[in-house]
Structures are given as structure tokens and as C-alpha cells.
Amino acid sequence: MKLWSRKWVGSKNPRKQRKYRYNAPLHIIRKFMSVRLSKDLKQKYGKRNLPVRKGDLVKVIVGEFKGRVAKVTRVSLVNHSVYVEGVVNVKRDGTKLTRPIDPSNLLITELNMEDKYRKKILERK
């Protein structure tokens, strides 16, 4: 049985769509990790969304931590999740666990422009 095929993305079948996402290689998963840009960034760069990176300033739009604005500390392609500063669960014994957030529940308010390749991508359009 095939683990992953590009043709599955064209299917309307939800089962095949889930299979496409779960079994996709990392270079494809990176595209799934795109986060919407704020209005001013959207006007400035002419793009609707960008793959999130460590160091980006994001706002949580949906969920328990709605409204919180903080930096991205880690992006996990394997888990399809983003980890944000200050978004933690406190366990009974007092230890803190960072809570994963789905990229669809975030909004980028400020970009981390330390990477020269990211600058090139944004200057293209």
C-alpha cells in the first residue's frame, strides 16, 4: 500500500484527505503550517498567509488562550502544531507543560525577518 501520493489531494473523500495530511512528507507539511497574516502585514507584503517560524509574534484567535499575543518558541512539523510563549498547562505538582496550538487558530502580527531566504520570498511579490 502506498504511504502517500500527490493525487490524494484532489480527492473529495474526507478519508483520503486525512490520509494525505497524516502521511505527507515534511516539505509538504510545512505548507500546512501556514498562518494568516494580520491586515497591515497582508497589505504590506501582498500575501494572505505564510508558514510560521520560530520567533514570529502571533496572536491566538481561538481557544482557551484567545487574545494572547506572544512569540513562537517552537514549530513541530511532526505533530502539526505550534508552541507559543506563555501558553502552558500547570500540572498538579506545579510543573508547567507547553501547550500545542493548531496553526489555523493563530494570526501572525509581526514577522521574524532574521532569515535571508524569508526576505527574498516576501520581496518577490
The segment(s) of the chain belonging to CATH 2.30.30.30 are: 34-124
Q: Which fold has domain 34-124?
A: SH3 type barrels. (2.30.30)
Q: How many CA atoms lie within 13 A of 77 on its CB side?
A: 12
pLDDT in tens, 98-116: 999 999 999 999 999 998 9
pTM: 0.88
Q: What does the block give as the cell for 22?
A: 497524516
pLDDT in tens, 43-53: 999 999 999 99
Going by C-alpha positions, the residue among 61, 95, 100 that lies closest to residue 84 is 100
Q: Report how far residue 58's alpha carbon sits from residue 101's, in angstroms, rounded to the nearest whole number.
A: 11
pLDDT in tens, 60-80: 999 999 999 999 999 999 999
Q: What does the block give as the cell for 76?
A: 513541530
Cα torsion 78, 83, 87, 89 to 10°: value is 30
pLDDT > 90: percent of the chain:
74
- What integer pLDDT is reported at residue 125 of this predicted model? 64
